[in-house]
Amino acid sequence: MPYSLVIFDLDGTLADSFPWFRVHVNTVAQRFGFRQVKDEDIDGLRHASTREILDFLKVPRWKLPFIARHARQLKTAHAANIPLFAGVDIMLDTLAANGTRLALVSSDSEANARQKLGSRAGLFADFDCSASVFGKARKFRRVLKRLRVDPAEVIAIGDETRDIEAARAAGIAFGAVTWGYAAERALREHRPEMLFTRMEEIAERLVVPAGRNP
């Protein structure tokens, strides 16, 4: 069965926000009193789970909503410095032309997401944004309910292990991209249904050519 709905993550999946993160993470760390990130820490953090990252940085869970809100405000101020990855526009156009519905679930705000997507925002049937660190499963379920889609016909696409866990909790498939925040090995260890190593591969594997039975 081909997927009739694709739910995308934004940062690290469609938007190349990791360079922005590296520039601003220690300013945020200083403001909220958690451990600063050194260059030599990056590889280890990319192989760690979200819970392991929070433990390493010594981030109290009660501070997470305040940190997330501040990060969204920073992104609003620096939106022009966070581009989409090359090929996103063609990939989204191809999926939409195939009749695949698109949705977006992100920890960023809807306003920031729409600004980054530009004219491609109109391709999306639904947005559910400002997700908490571990709140994406609930967002996925809400999108499915609003769009009245069978979970078996849905795949979420993202770049972090917590996204895989959220998709599993919501009963939907997951496609992991290797160009975002988490390292490929960490993603593979969570056994996503699909793994994409190139942007073009998303449309290549999700679009069923005319005349071919899925």
Domains in the chain: boundaries: 5-16+83-206, 18-81
| pTM of structure | 0.91
Q: For residue 59, is pLDDT > 70? A: yes
For residue 49, what pLDDT band results from cuts at 50, 70 and 90? confident
Pick the CATH number of 5-16+83-206 from 3.30.230.10, 3.10.129.10, 3.60.20.30, 3.40.50.1000: 3.40.50.1000
CA distances from 158 to 28, 37, 152, 176 (A): 24, 23, 18, 5
Q: Tell me the three state secondary structure of residue 140.
A: helix
The residue among 144 and 25 whose pLDDT is bigger is 144
For residue 187, what pLDDT band results from cuts at 50, 70 and 90? very high
- Residues 107-135: pLDDT tens digits? 999 999 999 999 999 999 999 999 988 89
Stretch (H or E) spanning 5: strand 5-8
- At residue 96, the pLDDT reads 97
Please tell me the distance from the alpha carbon of residue 121 to that of residue 184, in angstroms, as a whole number: 28
- At residue 171, the pLDDT reads 97
